[in-house]
Every structure is written in C-alpha cells, then in structure tokens.
Structure 1
Amino acid sequence: MILLQSPFFIIMLSFLCFTGCRQPEQHRTSDPPNVVIFLADDQGWGDVSYHGNTNLNTPNIDQLAHNGLSFEHFYVSPVCSPTRAELLTGRYHLRGGVRGTSAGEERLDLDEATFAERFQEAGYATAAFGKWHNGMQHPYHPNSRGFDYFYGFCSGHWGDYFSPPLEENGRLIQGDGYMVDDFTNKAIKFIEDNSKSPFLVYLPYNTPHSPMQVPDQWWENFESGELEMVLPANQNEDLQFTKAALAMCENIDWNVGRVMGKLKELGLEENTIVIYLSDNGPNSFRWNGGLKGRKGSTDEGGVRSPFFIQWPGRLPQGKSISQIAGAIDLFPTLMELTGISPSVNKPLDGKSLAPLLLKDNPHWEDRMIFSHWNGSTSVRTQQYRMDREGKLYDMEADPGQTTDIAAAYPEIARELGLAKTDWNEEMAAAFDGKTRPFTLGHPEAAFTQMPARDAEPHGGIQRSNRFPNDSFFTNWRSREDSITWDVKVMDAGEFEVELYYTCNEENLGSTIQLSVGGAQVQAQVKEAHDPPLRGMENDRVARMESYVKDFKPMSLGRINLIKGRSKMVLKALDIPGNEVMDVRLLLFRRIN
C-alpha cells in the first residue's frame, strides 16, 4: 500500500499510461493546429440537408455543424473569383484588382498578402487542390501565393470533369477520374505525407458549377426520383438541373467524409480546424430557403453561404451563431485561432470571429458587409439589407425581401444609402485604371501557360464559346488573321515553346509564326490530329460552356525573350488548305 501510494509509483504509472495507453498517432493539443478548408463552387445556402432541404442528404457536411459551429448569416461574393480573393486576403475583392472572372480580371494583385503565405512563413506545409481562379501565370499562380503544392486548374471553369487535363505545380498532366474525387485523393495523400507536421489544405472544389457532370452512382439517386421541395411553377425551376446540382453536392459530401475519416484515422481530428463554405449562391433557381436571388445577384440568395467550422475540444459543439459574418473574416480568424501573426501591410476589411467562436456572450458591435458584382452593390447589417436599387428590407421579419420599408424608415435608408455611396467611391479610388499584361517567364516558374482564354482573336478567328474560361480558337482561315496576347516577360531567357492544337489531314502544311517583341519562331504543321468535340456524353443537362477537344502539343522550337512588355502575336505565313488549326494554348518552358 505504501509503494502504491508513493510519488515515484504514481509518476511511473502516469508515464506508462501516457506512452502505452494513448493512440500512437494522437497529437497534443499544444501542437500548432492543422487547417482544412472546403470551398464548394455554386452550392447555395439551401444545398445542404442541415438547412432543411429534404431533397438531398449531406450527413458529413452536416456533421461539421453538429461537431462544431454554424453561422446563420454568412456572406460571400455573388460569383467565384471575388469570393476567393476575399477569402484569401481578408479584404474586399475590388481592393485587390479582382473585377471579373476571366480575361485577366480574376487575378489578385501581387501586393495583396494571402493567409497561405502567412501559414507558409510559420512553417506549415501548404497545398491547394482544385479550382484556383485568381491568376494562372506566375507570380499570380498558387505556387507563388503561399502554396507549396498545387494540383488542379487555374481557370474559372472546366469543360470535362472526368480525367481531364490538369496541372501539377505548373506541369500539364492528365487527371485521374472524376475531378472532385481526384482532388480529394491528392489531398488525402498530402495529409498522410505531412501528418507529423502542421499543414494547411485548401480544397476549392469545382462543383456543382456547370457543366453538370457527375458519376452514375450519384446521379442514379436523383435521375428518376421526385423532389419534395420545388419552387412554384411560375419560377421556372429546371428540375433536371436541380437534380444534377444536388447529385454533385452529395458527391462533395462523400468526399468531405473521406477527408474527415482520414483525419480521424491518423489521430489528427482533435488538432485540425475544418471549415466548409461555398463561393456564392446557387447556380440555378432551386430551393434556397425562400431567399431572393441566385448566383450573380447581390440579394440575400446570391451571397448567403453555408459556413461550418469545427475544432474538437477547442470550439463548442452544435453552437449556432446569429451575428453576420463573411469571407473577409476568414483571414483574421485563422490567424487568431492558430496564433500566427497576420503580418499585413494593408488594413483588413474582415474581423476575427474568434470571440463569437470561443465566448458565450461576447461584446460584438453591429457592422456592415458589402456585396458587389457587375456594377451592383448591396449592404447588409444585422437587421437590414439595402439592395442595389436603394430598397430597404428588414431581414429579420422579411428574409425573402418582399417589402421595401425605405419610406417607413428614412433615417436607416439614408444611413445605408450613404454607406453604399462611400463604399463604391472608396472601391473606385482603389482602381488605378491601368491594364495588366499577362506575365511570362517568371524566374521562379519552370512553365508558363498562355491559354486562349487570355488572348484576343483578330480577323475571322472565333472563340469556341462566349465564355472565355474553357474556350479555344477556331475558324483560322487567313494570313490576315492573328491571335494576340498582351504579355510582360518577367525575366529574359531561352524558352522551349509548345502549341496545343488540332488540325485535320486536309489542312496540313500551314506555316505559323510566333513573335514576342523582336523575337520570332516558326514551325510547320506536319502531323494531323483531328479529335471530335466531346463533353456532351457526360452532361446531365445541356451546357452553356464550350465543349472540349483533346488537344495535342507540337513544338514551335526555342525562342529567346528579353525582359519587358510587348504584344505576343501568333499568325500564319502560309495556308495551303482551307484552315490553319484550332488553338487551345501555348506552353513556355524555361531552358535557362
């Protein structure tokens, strides 16, 4: 009895239990927390079963809310790239130069700091898997914005979701299977490889953005079934589109479950902050809790997103937060939760949500969150929203924005109207009006892509679709035709150039020339490659984006580029047939 009660025995027993009884992979809560961020693309607030939609079942996403916290009123931008910019920087997207979704307007200014850079500086292994959509060429590329590893695509949308061409740290590769599954596979492998050190995993999925492609096992759950919650007939809901979108959301949910299962298997769940949100409202009119607007709208339905965050043992379970918050808050929140210094040289628009997460009744002042797209601005306070037309709504009494109360509450309307005007003027002042060339040959980049998306066609050349992101050029018939890029060579050097093309047998033999500044390289089209358009075979509903082809690379040779800005021109010197070729992209590889 004396021995059993001795301090020495108690210390030894505690030591044996610590070393022998715990799970071998369990990390101490004092370790820097890992971070996993899921970002869906075009998934509305109502596209999760947690919010009451009985049309689908998302148990793994819902579990994040049950195990952690959910925000009832969380706001993002009306479209893709602006939300990504705000999430990464904690600042409104217009401050960072993001004014569109393609043709270079999606690029995040280089003097903007991202949370990934702060994690990288703090010693985290950082990786992004999926749709980047804030710049393709270095130093806009994710590998230049804080991510050690990138696997996915940098464009705004993609034309094929089954084993399509992707990139891995700038190198073009072929994907492996359905894209969301593929991104998740790579993320799980990264987590396994970095399980002994802190990591940041960013999973910006590309679904349920169109084209509406989803594997059979998910589609079969919806194809012939009836939806319980549908819009009134006068709202013209496309039920096939809704079914496809919900099937894609259930696939996302399955992949969320795979990541969460791997964290638990490795003993990392207790020390990992997991966040789930979407980038804008739903991409069609479908059940969304009666909210007004959809993707592209600055009304509530266009900018309200699901937002769930869990950190077992550190954050409460099942807590619902009513205070308004937004994508601009993610940067400062992550910095405070992880203890990493923000180290920003510009003021943030967001504020840390840590008090709401960690305290029961924190002091929290009312605030304004602004939403903007395509010249339209709305502003949201805790109780009110003023829309782009100056109409005022009591969002607590009228979440569907049915009754304008501006005349009944003139002082509130005046205050919010002035705030909108001031914000618009401040954002306009942040824009210097200068055009930005596409960067080529950054010294830290082995490869530079120059896709058709970023070019201008001249003469009879046509884009394959009015949406540039996934387009290619066709109808190239004349020596007067040309394709041009506004480029800035970042560092002089010699480059190997490949052109991704298609050309049928009858039109072989054209001689083409690429010129950049005073440098030129010429090549002849000698090998036929004429694959059919595809993509429609996997579409569940008709798409609005371009169909795709399997483009083949041909070498144009080597070219010596000098540093500076110039016009890059691709033209034909000789056309023996009726057409030259179809063009998808140019790929530059630095030789020295």
Structure 2
Amino acid sequence: MKLNSSYARSSEFTSGRLQLPRRSQFAGRCRGLVVVVWLMLASMSANAQKPNVLVILTDDQGWGDLSLNGNTNLSTPNIDQLAADGASFERFYVCPVCSPTRAEFLTGRYHPRGGVYSTSAGGERLDLDEVTIGDTFKAGGYRTAAFGKWHNGMQYPYHPNGRGFDEFYGFCSGHWGNYWNPMLEHNGEIVKGNGFIIDDLTDHAIDFMKADSEEPFFVYLPYNTPHSPMQVPDRWWNKFKDAELKLHNREPKKEDVPHIRAALAMCENVDWNVGRLLKILDETGKADNTIVVYFCDNGPNGVRWNGGMKGRKGSTDEGGVRSPCLIRWPIIIPRGQRVRINGAAIDLYPTLANMAGLKRVNGKPLDGIDLSMAIYGHHRGNDDRIIVSHWRNRVSAKSGRFRMDTDGKLFDIHADGGQTKNVSSQHPTTAAQLKTAIKDYRANVLAGYDDDQRPFVIAHPDYPVTQIPARDGKAHGGIKRSNRFPNSSFFTNWTNTDDSITWDAEVLADGNYEVEIYYTCPAGDEGSEIELSFNDSKLRGTVAKAHPSKLVGAAEDRVERAESYEQNWTSIKLGKIAFDAGQGTLTLKAVKVPGKTVMDFRLLMLRHKKD
C-alpha cells in the first residue's frame, strides 16, 4: 500500500532560537523561498523563537457546519477568519467517530495500530507503547496542556498526564451527561465545573495561554460539542429554536429539525469561544507567533446539510470522514492559502512538530507525513497518496480526487460528492490501486486489532489517584446499567448480596490506597455494608448516609437525549486497602442490605497513601 506522498517533505528540524521575520517581509512570489531559508536558519540556530501552538478539535461537527463552507443556516465568523488569515485544506480527512480520530492526531498513526477499536469500556485506550504529540512537544521545551474530552484512556498512564500533557482539565470519557457545572477532573482529582462546559474549558485554556513563562505553550483543546446531549445556553438557542432552515440534507425527509437547530446553536457557541481565544492571543501579543489549528473529529451527528456528500458520523463515505482543517500562523503562512492536496489527522503530528522546529520523540513509523511545505504554499508532484478510512469493518480509501467505498465502488469525489456513479471501469488503474490498498490495510493493520487482552490499570506508583468508573465495569446479578451507551453511565437496581460489579484489573506495584465511592442512595435505604476486594485484599465499609437525587439533564436538554441522564453524586470514604502487584478481578459487592437498594454507583476512586 502506498502511504508515502510524492510531495517534497521538509526535514525535521531541531529546536533553536532565532528572531522571526515580520509578516510584511513575506510578500509575492518570494515568500516560499524566504520561509524555507528561515526554517533552515532556525534549524541551525540555538536561539530560534519557538511558536506557540493551539489545536482546537470539535466533537461531531461536520464539514458543512461552518459558514466558511457555504452553510447559510448559521454564522461562524471567528472560525471563518482563521481560513482568511491562514491556510485551509480543501480536502482533509479524519475518522468516522471520536476516539479513533483523537488517537490518529496524537500519534500520527492509523488508530488500529494503537489498539483503539471502540469508543468505550476500554476499547478507546491508546496503547502505552505509542508516542504522542504531547510527548514530543514536552520534550521540546513546551508547556503542555489538554482541556476537554480526552477519550483515549482514563487510568494512568493512559491518562493525558501520562501522555505528555502536564495539565489536564476535562473528562476522559467518550461523552458527558451534563454540560452545566458538571463533575469534571483536574489532573486526576474530581472537581466541579463552572457554568457551561465549553465556556469553562475555554476559560482554562485562556488562563494557561496567558501565564507568564519563557516556555512556549502547546494547548490541545478538544471541545465536546455539538455531541449530544444537546445542551446550549439560551443566548445561542434563542436564535435557533424557531429558525427556518435555508439549506437541507440530500435526504431532507430524514432531517430531525429540532436536533439540527440545537447542533447549529452549539456550533455558534463554539465559534464565540474561538473568538475569545483569538482575542486573548491578540491582547497578549502572542498572535503572530502562535500556530492555531482547527478541525473536527468526524462527520455530523445528524442528517443535516453537508454539501451534498454521502455519509455522516459513523460512515466511511466522504461525508463521514471529511473535516475542515484550518491553520493560521501569521508570520509564516500566507493569508487565504488554499491547500489543494489531501491531508488527514495522521499528518498533524509530523507537520506541527516540523513547523515548531522539533525533533520527533523516537517512536514507531508514522502513517502521516509532514505537509508544512504544502501549507506554506510550496509543493510538487501528484496527489496520489492513499489515505485509508476505517470503522467497524468498513474500509474506504482516498487518492487524489477518487474514493473507493467499502463495497469496492470507485467515485470521482470532486465531481460526485454524493457517490452516485461508479467510475471503476473508466479508471481501472486507480481502482486496482485502491482495492489493493484496502486489502493490505485489512491484512496488515486490522488483523487482530480488536482482540483486547489489556486489563484496567487500577493503581500506578507514579500517579496519586485512579478513577474506576461504572463505564468500565461489568454488572452481575440484578444490577443494570443506566443506559446502553456506557460512557457517562451509572449502575442502578443494586438490591441484594448476590449482585456485584467487577473490573478486570492490574495493580502495577504493591501499595496502600484510600478508597472513595461516588454514589446516590434514597432516604431510608442507607446502612448497606459493602465490600471491595482484589485477590487476597478486602475492605468493608458502610453506606452510612443517604443521598437521594433525581435524574439530572432533562430540563437542560433542547431535544430528548439517547444517552444516560446524570445524578447529583456525593462521595464516601470507605477506608484503606493494601494491594499486592498483579492481575486479578476487582469486585464491589454488598454483604448486608437493610433497605430496598444498596446505592446507584458512579465512580470508584483510589488514592495512593505513602504511609
């Protein structure tokens, strides 16, 4: 399979310090030469001024959810301005769903190579032998932070703090059940969010970028909207709640208009927050030497206008995997630059590392390539690289203007985004090449990738806390999960001593841990005695205090959700337990149930105690 581009690659530069030339020096046809000369000088200098980097990733926002791309149903002026001030890819590709795209951005490698095969219950975890973009920027002298939806593993060292990010605020699950003052985490510790989650994440990113430091920053800001539940502040909802849609999907009868209105409102909220980020870069004088990247993780999460393309979230057709990708770096990238070659999420790691003048931390071979010269406006060769898209045994491949779908049909995407006419017979050479690439991908990338034997790491000597959510557990007896989607769910209907919750787990080192449980319990049902055990270790405690809660979220939803509602959780400390290193089954059960129910269970926390 041909995975390397015929475009000229830039070499990876070591970091240095050199005063960057002003934007006014880059003009006319000489700009590309000046860029190349500057980068060469930067690689030789010990004093090059490294650029800051801000990467914004949205969740379930399709290519068509920007006014930049012709959607008159909404207005996204701040995001559109990124394209006007920098470069935009005409064709950029991500995965059909969330966690795979995040893994490909983080590693520059196709997601099956890193063990990502699902979006929940452990299948979203990125293998620990993968090197991330965070590792490279941290090693290169950057302050690194991630704010938002991680979705590539929760327990350290799968946690962002173990993948090159010094600072993390957000959640590690695939989606979240409440966007208003939610339960979040800060570097592993449970905290309460402040207001609407996207505004809150932006606040934390702004504080990090504003901090006085001689070190440049690398900020990864993976927003979690417009992913459901469809919650958005009144300021944006009021504009759309009765709005007439001007543009429609290629299958308008399948549209859910209230859902579309909520998604568009959420997209405009994202745009407002992007404007806040750009404003703070201007106010702090960091805008000129900050690389800002904006892209989305998959196609739209509903049937709405998407430029007439076939497919949406979950599909390997064009509409399921095409994303906007905008890159602004005022002192280097020409205004309004159009990148006319195919790019992908796997390319961002090598591209950004090279643009920052960093030597990539040694790791496995990349599937992505450095596209910096194309972004600067200088490339040569044909756009014949093959980019493969995959999800749930569906595989398609793109090369140049052609896409072969999972059924082996070839389409000229530039002329036929709706994929209505099979042109395999007109282009037999291209059809044969893409067919071979898909066959090789299935044989060499997919083989055995979802045979997951990894236990959950429940205690790590290098990290003070471990979160063990209901999402990752298995229910036994009468216990039921609050929803068929495990992310942000809880266990309920726990009524007797035959019921239990288990996790396949591994303790990496002997140690003592304080145990805390997040739960709710109706008044009158308090007093259950529960036991936590792992191999020969056992701990018993009592649910001494009732904490009733109604379901949370319905009042804030703009349309009815499919996922689990939340509750107002509280916590109790169960006591201390001594773990011996090794693999086993972590089990939570009740040994005494005086009332009708034990508790509704959300989360188990282990806190390492050195004493």
Please indicate, yes or no, whether the TM-score normalized by the shorter chain is above 0.5.
yes
SS of the counterpart of 1:36? strand
Structure 1 counterpart of 2:186: 168
Alignment of 1:167-186 (within 5 A): 167-186=185-204
Amino acid corresponding to residue 63 of structure 1 in structure 2 = Q
Structure 1 counterpart of 2:265: 247
Structure 1 position 104 matched with structure 2 position 118: no
Structure 1 position 419 matched with structure 2 position 437: yes
SS of the counterpart of 1:185? helix
Distance (whole Å) between structure 2 residues aligned to residue 430 and residue 329 of structure 1: 25
Structure 1 counterpart of 2:459: 441
Amino acid corresponding to residue 73 of structure 1 in structure 2 = R
Distance (whole Å) between structure 2 residues aligned to residue 48 and residue 462 of structure 1: 40
Deviates more, 1:399-408 or 1:299-308: 399-408
Structure 1 position 63 matched with structure 2 position 81: yes
Distance (whole Å) between structure 2 residues aligned to residue 359 and residue 383 of structure 1: 20
Distance (whole Å) between structure 2 residues aligned to residue 44 and residue 341 of structure 1: 33
Structure 1 position 87 matched with structure 2 position 111: no
Alignment of 1:484-523 (within 5 A): 484-523=502-541
Structure 1 position 37 matched with structure 2 position 75: no
Instruction: From 301, 308, 332, give the equivalent of 2:319.
Output: 301
Alignment of 1:504-543 (within 5 A): 504-543=522-561
Structure 1 position 352 matched with structure 2 position 370: yes
Preserved CA contact (<8 Å) 1:125 1:194: no
Alignment of 1:102-181 (within 5 A): 102-181=120-199
Distance (whole Å) between structure 2 residues aligned to residue 279 and residue 64 of structure 1: 18
1:154–1:432: structure 2 CA closer, same or farther, 3 Å change rule? closer
Distance (whole Å) between structure 2 residues aligned to residue 257 and residue 65 of structure 1: 13
Amino acid corresponding to residue 196 of structure 2 in structure 1 = Y
Distance (whole Å) between structure 1 residues aligned to residue 396 and residue 450 of structure 2: 23
Deviation at 1:195, TM superposition (A): 5.1
Preserved CA contact (<8 Å) 1:94 1:430: no
For 1:518-547, what per-residue CA distance to the aligned partner results, in whole angstroms no more than 9, with x for missing partners?
Answer: 100011122111110010000000000000
SS of the counterpart of 2:583? strand
Distance (whole Å) between structure 1 residues aligned to residue 181 and residue 321 of structure 2: 31
SS of the counterpart of 2:80? helix
Distance (whole Å) between structure 2 residues aligned to residue 430 and residue 124 of structure 1: 36
Deviation at 1:196, TM superposition (A): 3.7
Structure 1 position 225 matched with structure 2 position 243: yes
Instruction: From 251, 272, 279, give the equivalent of 2:297.
Output: 279
For 1:280-328, what per-residue CA distance to the aligned partner results, in whole angstroms no more than 9, with x for missing partners?
Answer: 0000010000010000000000000010001002011101112111000
Deviation at 1:335, TM superposition (A): 1.3
Structure 2 counterpart of 1:343: 361
Distance (whole Å) between structure 1 residues aligned to residue 209 and residue 414 of structure 2: 42
SS of the counterpart of 1:558? strand
SS of the counterpart of 1:431? coil
Structure 1 ranges of 4+ moved more than 6 A: none
Deviation at 1:429, TM superposition (A): 4.0
Distance (whole Å) between structure 2 residues aligned to residue 230 and residue 433 of structure 1: 41
Preserved CA contact (<8 Å) 2:103 2:126: yes
Structure 1 counterpart of 2:419: 401
Preserved CA contact (<8 Å) 2:135 2:361: no
For 1:240-292, what per-residue CA distance to the aligned partner results, in whole angstroms no more than 9, with x for missing partners?
Answer: 11111011111111111101100111110011000000000000010000010
Structure 2 counterpart of 1:476: 494
SS of the counterpart of 1:537? coil
Distance (whole Å) between structure 1 residues aligned to residue 516 and residue 203 of structure 2: 30
Distance (whole Å) between structure 2 residues aligned to residue 333 and residue 151 of structure 1: 26
Identity of aligned residues (%): 54
1:80–1:434: structure 2 CA closer, same or farther, 3 Å change rule? closer
Deviation at 1:361, TM superposition (A): 4.5
Distance (whole Å) between structure 2 residues aligned to residue 197 and residue 107 of structure 1: 30
Instruction: From 392, 403, 409, give the equivalent of 1:374.
Output: 392
Aligned residues: 566
SS of the counterpart of 2:288? helix
Preserved CA contact (<8 Å) 1:118 1:341: yes
Instruction: From 144, 167, 189, give the equivalent of 2:207.
Output: 189
Amino acid corresponding to residue 258 of structure 1 in structure 2 = R
CA RMSD of aligned residues (A): 1.5
Distance (whole Å) between structure 2 residues aligned to residue 65 and residue 117 of structure 1: 28
SS of the counterpart of 1:276? strand
SS of the counterpart of 2:200? helix
Deviates more, 1:354-363 or 1:582-591: 354-363
Preserved CA contact (<8 Å) 1:242 1:286: yes
Preserved CA contact (<8 Å) 1:195 1:266: no
SS of the counterpart of 2:227? coil
Structure 1 counterpart of 2:350: 332
Structure 2 counterpart of 1:22: none
Distance (whole Å) between structure 1 residues aligned to residue 293 and residue 388 of structure 2: 22
SS of the counterpart of 2:60? coil
Unpaired runs of at least 5, structure 1:
1-17, 19-27
1:255–1:432: structure 2 CA closer, same or farther, 3 Å change rule? closer
Deviates more, 1:168-177 or 1:570-579: 570-579
Amino acid corresponding to residue 114 of structure 2 in structure 1 = G
What TM-score does the superposition give when structure 2 sets the normalisation length? 0.91
Distance (whole Å) between structure 1 residues aligned to residue 447 and residue 203 of structure 2: 44
1:206–1:373: structure 2 CA closer, same or farther, 3 Å change rule? same
Preserved CA contact (<8 Å) 2:250 2:308: no
Structure 1 position 48 matched with structure 2 position 60: no
Distance (whole Å) between structure 2 residues aligned to residue 233 and residue 268 of structure 1: 45
Amino acid corresponding to residue 472 of structure 1 in structure 2 = F
Deviation at 1:434, TM superposition (A): 4.5
Distance (whole Å) between structure 1 residues aligned to residue 433 and residue 250 of structure 2: 36
Structure 2 counterpart of 1:560: 578
Distance (whole Å) between structure 2 residues aligned to residue 360 and residue 342 of structure 1: 23
For 1:101-124, what per-residue CA distance to the aligned partner results, in whole angstroms no more than 9, with x for missing partners?
Answer: 001000000000001111101111
What TM-score does the superposition give when structure 1 sets the normalisation length? 0.94
Distance (whole Å) between structure 2 residues aligned to residue 431 and residue 473 of structure 1: 29
Amino acid corresponding to residue 411 of structure 2 in structure 1 = Y
Instruction: From 597, 600, 607, give the equivalent of 1:579.
Output: 597
